[in-house]
Amino acid sequence: MKTAVYPGTFDPVTLGHIDVIKRASKMFDKIVIGITTHSDKKALFSLEERKSLVEKEVKDLKNVSVETFSGLLVDFVKQKNTKIILRGLRELSDFEFEFQQAVVNRKLDSDIDTVFIMTDARYFYVSSSMVKEIALLGGNIEKFVSKGVQTALKRKLAK
């Protein structure tokens, strides 16, 4: 059974993330979404809120589960008894940072493989931080995030 771990901050989850998860769920037997506690201080949503928002989006995908982790990604991947990290690419320039991370992760554990797949072209250039900035300025984010996330963002920013 091949499991891939899809790590990220998901602050909040975008339609681009969902697209990557759906595509990957057909390629691998199991997908574990790993939400990192690492950047908690800077996050808009709490770890629990982020987890809950992702869970709502993937509840119909039977081979996808959502977990949180602290510590190194390579350690979390080993705990899940796999060696595969999944990363989505939203645009060409994403790759520079991603390649660097993949090299470092393989330095930490030489068996680790990072698998990159592309989001649908509709979601190129869509990122969580861009969505938050547009929402903050009162822009329309319905092309970028689900109804559930739109509501959550509105509520959060109203505070």
Active site residue 41: yes
* Rounded alpha-carbon distances, angstroms, from residue 76 to 61, 84, 154: 22, 11, 33
| Out of 74, 77, 149, 152, the residue judged to bind a copy of itself by CB under 8 A | 74
Residues numbered 128 to 147 that lie near a copy of itself (CB under 8 A) are 130, 134, 137-140, 143-144
DSSP 136: H
Residue 154 sits in the site that holds a copy of itself (CB under 8 A): no
**Residue 117 contacts a copy of itself per CB under 8 A:** yes
Residue 1 within binding range of a copy of itself, rule CB under 8 A: no
Map the footprint of a copy of itself across residues 37-66, applying CB under 8 A: 38
Q: Does 91 bind a copy of itself (CB under 8 A)?
A: yes
- 157: contact with a copy of itself by CB under 8 A: no
**Considering 50, 51, 83, 90, which one is annotated as catalytic?**
90
Dist. CA 100–CA 98, nearest whole Å: 5
Q: Which stretch binds a copy of itself (CB under 8 A): 40-48, 52-60, 102-110, 148-156?
A: 102-110
Quote the Cα angle for 99-90-44, to 5°.
95
The 3 state secondary structure assigned to 73-129 is: HHHHHHHCCCCEEEEEECCCCHHHHHHHHHHHHHHHCCCCEEEEEECCHHHCCCCHH
Min CB(102)–a copy of itself separation in Å = 6
Which residues participate in catalysis according to the annotation?
17, 41, 90, 128
